Amino acid sequence: MRIRARAIRRAGELLEQVEPAKNQHDNSASAGGGIGRKQAASEAGMSHRQMHTALRVANVPTADFEQQIESNDPPTIPKLAQQGTKPRVPIIDLKGRDPKEPHRSGESRSVSRILFRSFALRASISSDNQFLSSPRPDFRA
C-alpha cells in the first residue's frame, strides 16, 4: 500500500510538471510545443480518473502525506485523493445562505407547477362536463 501510494503521488507530481492544454483548439501540441496533461497521462496508460486521482494525491502536503503513509494504518488512495481535492470557489457570494436553497425553491416551484396544472386540468374537465350536460342551444330561431 505504501509503495503504491508513493508511486501514485510521483505520477501526480510528474503530471503537474506538464502544462495543461488551454482548450481543445490549443495548437501548441500540434505545432511541436509539447503535449497537454491529458495526452501525457493517456500515453502513460492512465485513465482520466487515474490522472485526476494522481494529481489530487500529489496536492496533499508532503509532511502530511509521509506521516499518514508511515502510520500503522495508512489511508487508502481515495482518502488521500480526497485530502488533496481543492475546494471550489463559489462563483457568486451567497452571503451566508445555504447553497442548496435555490434547489429547494426549484423543487417548490415544480410542485406548485404540478398542482396548478392538475387544478387547471380538473377545471377544464369540469367545464367541459358542464358544457356537455347543459341543454343544447337552439340556433334555428
pLDDT tens across the length of the chain (141 residues): 889 999 999 999 999 998 888 776 665 545 555 788 888 999 999 999 999 999 999 999 999 999 999 999 999 999 999 999 888 776 777 777 776 766 655 555 666 677 777 777 666 665 555 555 555 656 665
Write down the pTM of the prediction. Answer: 0.59
The DSSP letter of residue 89 is P
Neighbours of 8 (CB within 10 A): 21
Q: Which of 85, 19, 30 is nearest to 56 (CA)?
A: 85
Q: Which of 30, 84, 29 is nearest to 53 (CA)?
A: 84
Identity at 46, one-letter amino acid code: M
Domain residue spans in the chain?
2-83, 98-141
CA 41/CA 58 separation, integer angstroms: 14
- How many helices and strands (H and E) does the chain possess? 6, 0
CA 68/CA 1 separation, integer angstroms: 12
CB 53 within 8 A of CB 8: yes
